[in-house]
Amino acid sequence: MPFQTGYLFSAAMDVEPKKEALFNEVYDTEHVPLLLKVPGVISVARFKTEELTMIIGGER
């Protein structure tokens, strides 16, 4: 699906595991709805990355 805008905003953050549930609740119930009210914002998507494992010379 092609983008309908000329811009893409991306943000990333690290959240302490013990605060992750609260962070997700606030993000989903307050932050995302407020973002969707900003003129020009057409959608919001959240993604979760996996922990990075560095491999050097075949060793973990």
Spell out the per-residue pLDDT of the chain, length 60, in tens. Answer: 566 667 888 999 889 999 999 999 999 999 999 999 999 898 999 998 888 888 887 666
Per-residue model confidence (pLDDT) at position 2: 66
Q: Report whether 23 contacts 15 (CB < 8 A).
A: yes
Residue with tokens 């060793």: 59
Looking at the structure of the chain, the number of domains it has is: 1
Per-residue model confidence (pLDDT) at position 52: 81
DSSP H helical segments within 1-60, as ranges? 20-26, 32-35
Per-residue model confidence (pLDDT) at position 6: 79
Enclosing domain of residue 42: 1-60
Per-residue model confidence (pLDDT) at position 51: 81
pTM for this prediction: 0.68
Bridge partners, 59 (sequence order): 56
**CA–CA distance, 47 with 34 (Å, rounded to integer):** 18
